[in-house]
Structure 1
Amino acid sequence: MSQPDPAARAALEAIVAALGLAAGPEQIDRLQDYLALLRRWNATYNLTAVRDPAQMLSQHLADCLAVVGPLRRQLGETAGRRVIDVGSGGGLPGVVLAVMLPDLQVTCVDTVGKKVAFVRQVAAELRLPNLHAEHARVESLRVPPVDLVVSRAFASLSDFVHLTEHLLAPGGVWMAMKGKRPDDEMAGLPAGVAVFHVEPLQVPGLDAERCLVWLRPTPGALVHS
């Protein structure tokens, strides 16, 4: 990896501290190395429209770090838990979750082969045995059921739950990363799916609205129909 930028490292450590997260030096190293890989691959493969390193830090890394605490609270014990990040692109938030929660098994899913190849390269170079990547359409994906399905800028809430309901284990939930509270999308959810929490997020260094929409099948709903 390239030599780390002390100022960028300090900014990253400040973000982690502001979010009340615990991260050891090795985790900070991995997050920095991930950004370096993202910038390097982005020059050729156009993984993200954001190219400025400072903007990558705030718009991508900080944005994804902000969901780590809420996700940990929802899952409780992360050992043995499984998460799927659908429409993962360059691994956001999946890579960040795998770095910050090493007991969590994280699978990133995307239909674009170069993006899946990038996540696999990240898993190898950052030595993240809990990070996996699948090249597939999520509605066709067949994997063991998961505890949580997450998306970031993937689809409407209705499409999100419809395309991924077959992936949820009993008791599993959906976590959708959104900007402004998506009241219209929530009103359009199908029967059998309920929003049980809309959680505002404060993302350090980002002057924009962010929230998490938590959803689950309602009792007795025929998921997988």
Structure 2
Amino acid sequence: MFDINRKGFASVETHAQPIVSTEFECLPSVLLNQFYAKPIEVLPVSHDQLLAVLSNNAHYRERFGLTQLPVHFPALPRAFSQSLFPKLGVVSWKDVVGMQTIPDALLNTADYSPVLECWLNAISDRMALTLHAYRCSSNTPKLYLFPNQDFRERSEYRLSVSHGEIQGVNCYCSRRDYHEEYLEEIKAWWSSLEPFETSPNLTHIFVDIAWCKARRAYVIIDVNPNLYLLDQEVERRCV
């Protein structure tokens, strides 16, 4: 989402609340109902655990003078029979090689907390920068364990939405199933959803979707703030 530099931190600090407001459980129910899946497990993360997570990123640790600390979870007795897609608040491990998903072989255990601790100790620059929004807004994220779903054969589309109204749609990941006429179809799909009130923190968002063959419908796979439009609003207020 950002470069881990002074400008990146300034943007996160300015828009911390809109960033954390796109966390799964913070979204309006009309959007939650369109998600590709509900999380199988949702685990709270304390302030101390978040600080430990951030301390394991070298750039973040150096910038804020943190002492590196291991991330610890209490024993979590449960075995999973499928691979999982983990998200810590609003971030996933998509840019950490080999850690985008947690294989089911690692989860067939009487206590899966060591597996989660391994993931939480491996935080990329992008993840650390985005998670900084939680510290700025005095919030803590939750750790979501979604069932992993493979969309690699499906084109992925990004909707630009302002005040709940679709402003545009583009295909940011084109695959063999892509057809240009789908763009108008997606606009009609969004318009068919129930209107929802948008808080100031969800005024400008990006909604990423894909076609789900099993449900024979478009499904939401991610929601993020549109920082470009939010920056423009800040600039207008400063004029």
Whether TM exceeds 0.5 here: the answer is: no
TM-score (norm: length of structure 1) = 0.30
> Between Structure 1 and Structure 2, whose CA radius of gyration is higher?
2
Answer 1 or 2: which has greater helix percent.
1
> Which protein has greater RCO, CA pairs closer than 8 Å, 6+ apart?
2
